[in-house]
Amino acid sequence: MNKIIYFTKSGNSKIMANGLSEVLNIEAINILDKPIIKNIETLIVVSAIYKFQDSPEMRAFIDTFEKDSVNNAIIITLSASGFMSQKKIIEMFHKKEIRTLGEKTFKSSFLMINKNRPNSGDIDNAKDFIINIIKN
């Protein structure tokens, strides 16, 4: 089974996660709703950068994963700059022996910049990135 999980403060990760859920036909769940993480083939993590770092909330959630509950992970990262990586989350996956298949970064809205991002083009790009990885 594949699953999308997301955390959001201002709604952008929710837009991306729900958009991906629709086009990929994979359930997307807010981590605040405590999704059950068990027997996951590929987990798609959608979250953002805050104060130059991966979200502490997503890190705390990933920390609760039991051994062998997830095989692979794909990371979709939103930020104002558009290029920051969720390095700590990738490191956590490696420690938990979860294979990180790839990370794609996106520009997303913050205050007055990147208005209306992520948009449908971003969702399409993320979809293509994920499909290419899962296929290969």
Ligand X SMILES: Cc1cc2nc3c(=O)[nH]c(=O)nc-3n(C[C@H](O)[C@H](O)[C@H](O)COP(=O)(O)O)c2cc1C
List residues near ligand X by CB under 6 A: 8-13, 48-52, 78-81, 84, 108-110
Q: Which is nearer to ligand X, 57 or 69 (CB)?
A: 57
Q: Which is nearer to ligand X, 96 or 107 (CB)?
A: 107
Return the bridge partners of 47, or none: 77
Tokens of 8: 């959001």
Smallest distance, ligand X to C-beta of residue 19, A: 13
Q: Could you please report the per-residue DSSP string of 85-129?
A: --HHHHHHHHHTT-EEEEEEEEE--BTTBSTT-S-HHHHHHHHHH
Q: Which is nearer to ligand X, 42 or 77 (CB)?
A: 77
Smallest distance, ligand X to C-beta of residue 39, A: 27
Cis peptide before 118 (omega within 30 of 0): yes
Dist CA 113 CA 96 (whole Å): 36
Smallest distance, ligand X to C-beta of residue 30, A: 10
Q: Which is nearer to ligand X, 72 or 79 (CB)?
A: 79
Smallest distance, ligand X to C-beta of residue 78, A: 4
